[in-house]
Amino acid sequence: MTGERPRPLLWRLVRGFAMFWWDFLIGDTPELFIAALVTIGVVAALSHLWHLNGVAVIALPALATAALGLSVRRALRSERRPK
C-alpha cells in the first residue's frame, strides 16, 4: 500500500493526451522542434515583412536541410561521448 489515491480519469486522459503530443513533436529531438519554429519565423519575416518571395523559396528547404544535418550531427556527438 502506497497510500496514493488514483487520479481521476479525466486528469489521466488529459495527461496522456499532452504526453502523446510532447513525445510526438519533441521527444528526444527538441532541436528539430526548435528548428521548425525558427524556420517558420524566418520565412514569415522574409515573406511578409520584407516581401522577399524568391529568398523565402530558397530559405525554407535550406533551413529544413540544415536542421536535419545538425540533428544528425548532434546524434553523432552523443554517440561519441563516453557513457
Residue 59 · residue 35 · CB < 8 Å: no
Q: DSSP label at 27?
A: T
| Shortest Cβ 15–other proteins spacing (Å) | 15
Residue 19 binds other proteins, judged by CB under 8 A: no
For other proteins, the binding residue among 15, 18, 22, 27 (CB under 8 A) is 27
The 10 Å Cβ neighbour count of residue 11 is 10
Closest-CA residue to 31 (of 66, 7, 67, 58)? 67
State the Cα–Cα distance between residues 73 and 80, nearest whole angstrom: 11
Residue 48 binds other proteins, judged by CB under 8 A: yes
**Closer by beta carbon to other proteins, 7 or else 61:** 61
Q: Which residues bind other proteins (CB under 8 A)?
A: 20, 24-25, 27, 29, 32-33, 35-37, 39-40, 43-44, 47-48, 53, 56-57, 60-61, 64-65, 67-69, 71-72, 75-76, 79
